[in-house]
Amino acid sequence: MLKRLIAFIAALLLLITLLPLGASVPSAAAGRETLPDPFAAEDSARERKLSLMQEGIPREIRAGSLGTRPPTASAASGEKRYIVGFRKNSSKTDISGVLKDERYSLIGSSDNRLACLVTADLDGFLAKAGDLVDQVEEDFVIHAQRAVDDPYAPDQWALDSMKLRPAWNRTIGSVGFYIAVLDTGFNRQHPDFQPGHIRAGWDYLNWDHVYTDPNGHGTNVTGVIAAAANNSIGIAGTVWRSAVIPFRVLDANGDGYVSDAVGAIYDAADMGCRVINLSLGHYEFLEFEEEAVRYAQDKGAIVVAAAGNDNSSQYSYPASYEGVFSVGAVTSEHLRASFSNYNDRVDLVAPGQSVLTTDGSRYYGYASGTSFSSPYVAGVAALAVSLRPKLTAAQFLEAVKATSRDLGPRGYDVKYGHGLVDASALLAYLDVSFPDVIKASWYHGYVINLARQGIVNGYSTGTFRPSYGVRRDHASKMIAVAAGLNYKGKRADFPDVAKTDEMSPYIAALAEEGAIRGYPDGTFRPKKQITREQICQITAKAFHLEMGDLPADFTDLSPNEEIRGYVLILASNGIVKGIGGSEQFDPRGDVTRAQMTKILSIAMAVSAIQKAETAMSQEAVDAAQALVDFLPENQDLDTRDYLQARIDAIQIP
């Protein structure tokens, strides 16, 4: 054994002496070339730039400390610029090689493989680049959505128009996240901004922090969002507490290259900006810009943009990209402003004529344009995010649809979108919670759904009391509102309902609809608890419900055929069921507040489906689908499946 060990060691020593000096045993990594990243310095400079622009106060930046300044120039120069997209799997070394002798700047990080190229010989560059280039688009000039001349308004009418004052009782904002404003800059000498609330930002034209606003448009826009409130001077912005980052991408004329805006969107997204305002636009669909917007959305940003000021139905970008909140303008009379663009990409409207805001000097002025409608919505989005930090753009859109004040033709339309943003209602919609309505309960989804729509409310203690019974007058209000009845200005004609009673209009609307008649003695008995059979009768009549297809039979119903029929109408549509799944309905039993929310939620969906089956239009089908989608996903699955099958069966001509 010892001889074998000695022989092995001798052989090993002989092998080592035969290896060339410095040679080593090949490793698993041999053959793999590790090259230095040619864009490491530029990416490092960008990371420092992103850090610097978040600072509260601009500071002097030493020349060259952020690398070579990109070849930016004023849009007025007219030089030819292109956005070049390289293939995603292409080597950075190869890309660096073809860019070596060119005037260029990276857009975002080098991982995006995007560059802004300044050249008079695009063909020559493409010939040199070969198949490295995946796509090229001309770097168009974009414009601030400029104001138009309009009569002055006496004050900040927008605050009441958008119901911002009551909204501030819920939240005044937060400095815990960033709002990005891409515009002409920001005037730091204006006294109506809280120190530190406007961060250092970045000037893509001068490659520095944002110190000034040679145009004034950016300061106008920023004032709408973030002018200080309760500071005894000037105006109140939409968000009292905020952290705004100005991105200067437009020159003194309000013009700029889209590549700077694209780069700023990438930068804003990578910094985690939760709201991005774009009061600028053009009429060219650009894939690179769309990709940047999508990148920001995927990072969690709510992107808001001005619809445009040309009284045109043409799509304006970036407002018309998928998922961007396109905002039109209305006057103080809530009419579409004469200049506001209109098309099927408009999501909602906000004040945009004679808007009092901070100007480019140290004072204030009135401005008009969708440029000032957009920051109102961006500000409301920021309030919403401060209330719900994990709020998504999809959830914000849902809240917009559910709470905006309908203007123009009923429902969505191309001039007003979903309507005028209502900050108070929107925040109430998002802020719904009751300590006694736990998520695990069967009624949680129904209660929250109707509370968000303002159909039901909690008590002054903040509780909902789901097991409490429902009074006849309270039930009247819930049903009248849920059914969309016209109750304004009406007065009930019952001796025990005072004309001044706040429930009188709702009771009157139901009586006019034939849904209630009162008792044989002529009274209504508003404070009496409503029974299960009574709620079926009133609901069926108020919503004009028809017999459904689900099996419905109970052994304890009233012999009165009329009342029995109303119970079966609701049961055959899945709106009500027997007690504990039995054949007992308990018609004289009280209805609880939790049960009421389920009845109304499903009744609204059934009513919408009936209308869609008659109208056979896509608009009606979409409205019905939205109400079915609002129903809790984990409750009454047989009812949901039945209603969905009815929608799917509708044939649209």
What is the domain-level CATH number for residue 219? 3.40.50.200
Structure tokens at 543: 């919503």
What pLDDT is stored for residue 20 in this prediction?
34
Would 414 be classed as within a structural domain? yes
Q: pLDDT tens digit string along 156-169? A: 889 999 999 888 88
User: How far, in Å, are 157, 198, 406, 415 from residue 160 at the CA level?
Assistant: 6, 25, 16, 22
For residues 128 and 173, membership in a common domain is answered with no
- Other beta carbons within 10 angstroms of residue 594's beta carbon come to 21
Residue among 243, 416, 250 nearest 335 (CA): 416
For residues 283 and 371, membership in a common domain is answered with yes
Confidence bin at 81 (pLDDT 50/70/90) = confident
Statement: residue 321 has pLDDT above 70: yes
For residues 101 and 184, membership in a common domain is answered with no
Residue among 330, 269, 315, 263 nearest 294 (CA): 269
Contact in structure between 244 and 177 (CB atoms under 8 Å): no
Structural domain range at position 131: 40-140
Catalytic residue among 139, 183, 203, 255: 183
Q: What angle do CA 451, 454, 455 make, to 5 degrees?
A: 80
For residues 341 and 313, membership in a common domain is answered with yes
Query: N- to C-terminal Cα distance for the chain?
Result: 94
Confidence bin at 21 (pLDDT 50/70/90) = very low
Q: Which amino acid is at 630?
A: F
Catalytic residue among 217, 418, 444, 474: 217
Contact in structure between 81 and 257 (CB atoms under 8 Å): yes
| Catalytic annotation present for 601 | no
- pTM score over 0.85: no
Helix (H, G, I), strand (E, B) or coil at 118: strand
What pLDDT is stored for residue 87 in this prediction?
86
Q: Considering 84, 117, 140, which residue would you say is the last residue of a domain?
A: 140
Q: pLDDT tens digit string along 606-631? A: 999 999 999 988 888 888 888 888 88
> What mean pLDDT do residues 419-436 have?
89
For residues 583 and 453, membership in a common domain is answered with yes
Q: pLDDT tens digit string along 443-499? A: 998 998 888 777 888 887 788 999 999 999 999 999 999 999 999 889 999 999 998
Statement: residue 194 has pLDDT above 70: yes
How many Å separate Cα 308 from the centre of its chain? 19
User: CA-CA distance, 465 to 594, in Å (whole number)?
Assistant: 8
Confidence bin at 65 (pLDDT 50/70/90) = low
Would 267 be classed as within a structural domain? yes
Residue 648 burial (C-beta neighbours within 10 Å; 0-12, 13-18, 19+): exposed
Q: Considering 76, 110, 140, which residue would you say is the last residue of a domain?
A: 140
Would 447 be classed as within a structural domain? yes
What pLDDT is stored for residue 74 in this prediction?
61
What pLDDT is stored for residue 5 in this prediction?
45
For residues 265 and 337, membership in a common domain is answered with yes
Q: What CATH number does residue 45 fall under?
A: 3.30.70.1150
Q: pLDDT tens digit string along 91-103? A: 888 888 888 878 8
Statement: residue 441 has pLDDT above 80: yes
For residues 168 and 115, membership in a common domain is answered with no
Catalytic residue among 371, 404, 476, 601: 371
Confidence bin at 14 (pLDDT 50/70/90) = very low
Would 328 be classed as within a structural domain? yes
How many separate domains does the chain show? Answer: 3
Statement: residue 304 has pLDDT above 70: yes
Residue among 408, 426, 425, 428 nearest 417 (CA): 408
> What mean pLDDT do residues 201-214 have?
91
Structure tokens at 539: 């609901």
**Radius of gyration of the CA atoms of the chain, in A:** 32
Contact in structure between 330 and 337 (CB atoms under 8 Å): yes
Statement: residue 19 has pLDDT above 50: no
What pLDDT is stored for residue 466 in this prediction?
92
What pLDDT is stored for residue 7 in this prediction?
52
Would 553 be classed as within a structural domain? yes
For residues 441 and 424, membership in a common domain is answered with no
Q: Which amino acid is at 547?
A: M
> What mean pLDDT do residues 258-271 have?
94
Contact in structure between 466 and 594 (CB atoms under 8 Å): yes
What pLDDT is stored for residue 422 in this prediction?
95
- Higher-pLDDT residue of 51 and 353 is 353
Q: What is the mean pLDDT of the chain?
A: 86
Confidence bin at 60 (pLDDT 50/70/90) = low
What pLDDT is stored for residue 616 in this prediction?
87
For residues 86 and 125, membership in a common domain is answered with yes
Would 2 be classed as within a structural domain? no
For residues 272 and 176, membership in a common domain is answered with yes
- Higher-pLDDT residue of 473 and 148 is 473
User: Which of 206-220, 291-305, 377-391, 615-629 bottoms out in mean pLDDT, i.e. has the lowest?
Assistant: 615-629
- Higher-pLDDT residue of 629 and 519 is 519
Residue among 69, 373, 76 nearest 252 (CA): 76
Sort strands 346-351 and 103-106 into parallel, antiparallel or unpaired.
unpaired
**Beta bridge mates, 593:** none
- Report the share of the chain in percent with pLDDT over 90: 53
Q: Considering 94, 122, 140, which residue would you say is the last residue of a domain?
A: 140
What pLDDT is stored for residue 62 in this prediction?
55
What pLDDT is stored for residue 77 in this prediction?
64
| Catalytic annotation present for 217 | yes
> What mean pLDDT do residues 240-246 have?
90
- Report the share of the chain in percent with pLDDT over 70: 89
For residues 305 and 372, membership in a common domain is answered with yes
What pLDDT is stored for residue 32 in this prediction?
37
Would 477 be classed as within a structural domain? no
Q: pLDDT tens digit string along 559-601? A: 888 889 999 999 999 999 998 888 889 999 999 999 999 999 9
What pLDDT is stored for residue 56 in this prediction?
67
Would 60 be classed as within a structural domain? yes
Helix (H, G, I), strand (E, B) or coil at 33: coil
User: Which of 27-31, 290-294, 430-434 bottoms out in mean pLDDT, i.e. has the lowest?
Assistant: 27-31
Statement: residue 403 has pLDDT above 60: yes
Residues with Cβ within 8 Å of residue 516, at least 6 apart in sequence: 476, 507, 510, 524, 538
For residues 180 and 288, membership in a common domain is answered with yes
Statement: residue 150 has pLDDT above 80: no
Residues with Cβ within 8 Å of residue 439, at least 6 apart in sequence: none
